[in-house]
Chains A and B, each alone.
Chain A
Amino acid sequence: MAHLVFTQQLKRFTEVPEVDTPAPTLREALQAAFAINPRLQGYVLDDQGHLRPNVVVFIDGQRSRDRRTLGDVLKPESRVHVLQALSGG
């Protein structure tokens, strides 16, 4: 199953579960995490369900490109990292 990990920076604000999920796409994998902690969704996605501008997702070492529909395909052994961009101050 795909394994989903969130940046530990988010632990300052809300719980960040590590998730193993059979989800076939990034959006469905994220939904599995949001089902555990609904508050987490607003930290990763904006009002329209798009990836926040300063959040970045890596799937098996490749940066996800579809920031609106989050349709990137996951393999059963995929490792997904949800990180904050290195911006701001």
Chain B
Amino acid sequence: MTATRAWAATRKGLFELRRSARGWGVARVSFLAEPVSMVLPPVGGSGRMLAALNLGHFGVKVHASDDAGATWREVDAPTYPPQPEGGKDAEGPAWKLVQIWSMEALHGAIWAGTLPGGLFKSTDGGEHWELVDSLWSRPERLGWFGGGYDVPGIHSILPHPTRPGELLLGISCGGVWGSREGSTQWELQAKGMRADFMPPEQADDENTQDPHLIALCDAVPTSVWCQHHNGIFRSTDGSRSWQEVKPPIANFGFAVAVHPREPDTAWFAPAVKDEKRVPVDGALFVHRTRDGGKSFEALRTGLPQQDCYDLVYRHGLVVDGTGRSLLMGSTTGNLWASDDAGDSWTEVAGHLPPIHALRFG
């Protein structure tokens, strides 16, 4: 069914978006003026929803709503355990929560991915959180470093649609990690990715890859797509191996959305790499492939084609369950919608705060 509700987590609040006969519009604002780094829509459409705030002075907070954003109540935020004073465990970033970068819910669990590189799990609807120590204690963690922030972070959490306990994680910069043992055993799964930002002899090091975002096809979860710092990569074996695909105009960007039933169809929001990070020639477009990356279309209808400097961050491009409705939001506070799989776009809002994340639901 076509989505009728969506959420925009922004630098200055959480915006509820509703679809009417006139198209998408803002229906409600929560946490006005507060930075909202991520939102978890109501689970199942009507259950608990969570919002992650990042208060500049007073830290990261989590709020829960059981009435789809009408009222909110603060719950526990993830907290790192006491940091050892010495030894190997004392190395690396301080064990202090910097930001909640991702949240997902499936199979009765809620997962939060954080800076500095923590995965937290809640089994009580987000009231309390527990650090997943099996990942945090991996020695490879000390090889991770920041991508976009001073410390590494988990921006992608992909629970397997049908197999509880199986997760894929995307980490900047820490590669792709998979769990197939109830999230107690972890395996680095970034084989085939390439890191040009590393010394040449380390470019293939799986543990320092920078996948900007990973996303999978719900109906065919072995099909995983990645917008990487170095380009676009695709896996057809559930992240066991990755192959690079090369779009014709630009391969840099942050966001990727995958069709829920067509594993060969994915959308990307390209930008000039790497130091500039603006649309190519000041003209915004969306790249779409429908053949697994063999070819790409540049979709421009309805998007600004002159003097445009919008950048779409990791969580700023989403597709609904039909595979035809998309939303795209930028750091310039612009929001566009498409109802024809990206062929054409309409502006929903032009003056929102910088958009951190969009979610249907």
Nearest neighbor of B75 in chain A, beta-carbon distance? A39
Nearest neighbor of B77 in chain A, beta-carbon distance? A42
Would B58 and A48 count as touching, CB distance under 8 A?
no
Name the interface residues of A16-55: CB closer than 8 Å to any CB of B: 39, 42-44, 46-48, 50, 52, 54-55
Would A88 and B61 count as touching, CB distance under 8 A?
no
C-alpha gap A26/B80 in the complex (Å): 23
Interface residues as binary, B91-109 with A (CB distance below 8 Å gives 1, 0 otherwise): 0001111000000000000
Q: A14-B74, A42-B77 are in contact. Are A88 and B56 (CB under 8 A)?
A: yes
C-alpha gap A89/B56 in the complex (Å): 8
Would B57 and A46 count as touching, CB distance under 8 A?
no
User: B74 — which chain A residues lie within 8 A by C-beta?
Assistant: 13-14, 39
B359 to chain A, nearest CB (A): 24
C-alpha gap A13/B94 in the complex (Å): 26
Q: Contacting B94 at CB < 8 Å: which of A48, A55, A87?
A: A48
Would A47 and B56 count as touching, CB distance under 8 A?
no
CB of B349 within 8 Å of the partner chain:
no
How big is chain B's contact interface, by range? 10 to 19
Interface residues as binary, B79-99 with A (CB distance below 8 Å gives 1, 0 otherwise): 110110000000000111100
Would B97 and A85 count as touching, CB distance under 8 A?
no
B109 to chain A, nearest CB (A): 22
User: B56 — which chain A residues lie within 8 A by C-beta?
Assistant: 54, 87-89
Would B95 and A47 count as touching, CB distance under 8 A?
yes
Would A13 and B61 count as touching, CB distance under 8 A?
yes
CB of A5 within 8 Å of the partner chain:
no
Residue from the set B59, B61, B97 with the largest chain A CB neighbour count within 10 Å: B59
User: B77 — which chain A residues lie within 8 A by C-beta?
Assistant: 42
Would B96 and A46 count as touching, CB distance under 8 A?
yes
Would B55 and A13 count as touching, CB distance under 8 A?
yes
Can you list 6 A-B pairs, Cβ within 8 angstroms, ordered by A? A13-B55, A13-B61, A46-B59, A46-B97, A52-B57, A55-B57
The 6 closest A-B pairs by CB, nearest first: A88-B56, A54-B57, A43-B58, A84-B57, A47-B80, A47-B96
